[in-house]
Amino acid sequence: MATQYLAALLLLLLTGSNPMPAQETRTDTDDLIDAAWQWADENLDERVLGVMEQLDQDKLKQFFRDLKQKAQGSHVLDLAKLKPTAIALLPLLEAKEETRPYAGWLRTQLDYFEAAEELVKVVAPPEIRPGQPPKPPPDPDVDQERKVWKKRLTKRPVPQGASAVVAGLKPIFAAEGVPTELVWMAEVESGFNPQARSPAGAVGLFQIMPATAKRFDLSLWPRDQRLQPAPSARAAARYLKLLYEAFHDWPLAIAAYNCGEGSVQKRLDRYKANGFDQIAPHLPAETQMYVPRVEATILRRENTGLADLRPPAKK
């Protein structure tokens, strides 16, 4: 049973910023654990699960109780609750060579948890009315998120070794007709760690999923080209170009890069919207945070906003 809890923790912690689809939500914790264990058994390396056994079981169970309350939601501020467990998990993942790729990915996710923690401090608490149960604080608006990300990145140095990588990636983006400033998405996706790997299957600088890799002619075997900066960058640039052609807007294209074209299009249709800010409150919590984070990163590294980026050049 302990191993089942640990497997489920890895799944839910590392993908915790995306709420579970409604059809997968469980009303019983044991069912949740069984579902997570099945996923872990099919997707995770057993060596990763072995490292998890050092975690405190009481904290683990509390994490499940907290997660159960927000499983169906997309409440950005709830991401702050994941920070303590993520901090405890990081050194365990970093201690083993075989789990360091997961640590590389989790470190980028920790930024979301810390940003959510900062947002908790700036969001006005709901009015307390006598005789009524307290309401949860409202989610921050996009402008509040932009301000938090801009502040977080104001003095953040370029990741170690990133400058040399960026110099090599920009010509690839340019050759695909995509604004070269977008190579900095790799800082958000992986911290410029080409070995970064999410338990959901995303790999490399631009965290490309297997289906996306196949879509853009990347080989997964015998050598995974997602681990190679140049092929990974080419696939990311082509995907971004396709997304822009679908949405004619960089914030929407970047949102779709994070949560999928269908997810963005459904919300645009449902809310009769034509921009990211209009649908942001209805997107998964990570996506709500992802677009302002990418925007702040590009602004920090290139002194350019998303609104200033040109459309893809026609080849």
**What would the mean pLDDT of 168-190 be, rounded to a whole number?**
98
Q: Is residue 256 part of a domain?
A: yes
Between these two residues, 45 and 171, which has the higher pLDDT value?
171
CA 25, CA 32: separation in Å to the nearest integer? 8
Q: Is residue 146 part of a domain?
A: no
Q: Is residue 200 part of a domain?
A: yes
- Would you say residue 301 has pLDDT above 90? yes
Domain co-membership, 304 together with 183: yes
Domain co-membership, 179 together with 290: yes
- b/e map of 296-310 (b: 16 or more CB within 10 Å)? bbbbbbbeeebeebe
Between these two residues, 30 and 269, which has the higher pLDDT value?
269
Domain co-membership, 295 together with 169: yes
CA 164, CA 167: separation in Å to the nearest integer? 5
Domain co-membership, 171 together with 292: yes
Domain co-membership, 207 together with 288: yes
Q: Give the H/E segment covering residue 122.
A: helix 100-122
CATH number, domain of 301, equals 1.10.530.10
Helix pair 285-302, 250-259: axis angle to 10 deg: 130
Indicate the range of 94-108, 143-157, 167-181, 224-238 predicted with least confidence. 94-108
pLDDT in tens, 189-223: 999 999 999 877 899 999 999 999 999 999 999 99
Q: Using an 8 Å Cβ cutoff, are 288 and 145 in contact?
A: yes
CA 125, CA 165: separation in Å to the nearest integer? 43
pLDDT in tens, 17-60: 333 333 233 334 445 445 444 544 555 445 444 545 555 555 54
Q: Is residue 128 part of a domain?
A: no
Q: Give the H/E segment covering residue 121.
A: helix 100-122
Q: Is residue 140 part of a domain?
A: no
Domain co-membership, 269 together with 178: yes
pTM over 0.75: yes
217: left (phi > 0), else alpha (psi -120 to 50), else beta?
A: left
Length reported for the chain: 315
What's the structural domain count of the chain? 2
- Phi, psi angles (nearest 5°) of residue 81: -70, -20
Q: Is residue 275 part of a domain?
A: yes
Q: Is residue 136 part of a domain?
A: no
Q: Which residues pair with residue 208 across a beta bridge?
A: 203
What residues contact residue 219 under an 8 Å CB cut-off, 6+ apart?
A: 213, 225
| Mean pLDDT score of the chain | 81
3 state SS of 207: coil
Domain co-membership, 297 together with 203: yes
Domain co-membership, 97 together with 188: no
Domain co-membership, 103 together with 183: no
Q: Using an 8 Å Cβ cutoff, are 128 and 136 in contact?
A: no
Q: Which residues pair with residue 203 across a beta bridge?
A: 197, 208
**What would the mean pLDDT of 96-109 be, rounded to a whole number?**
86
CA 302, CA 237: separation in Å to the nearest integer? 18
Domain co-membership, 170 together with 302: yes
Domain co-membership, 175 together with 86: no
Q: Is residue 153 part of a domain?
A: no
pLDDT > 70 in the chain, percent: 76
Domain residues for the domain of 216 are: 165-308
Domain co-membership, 111 together with 172: no
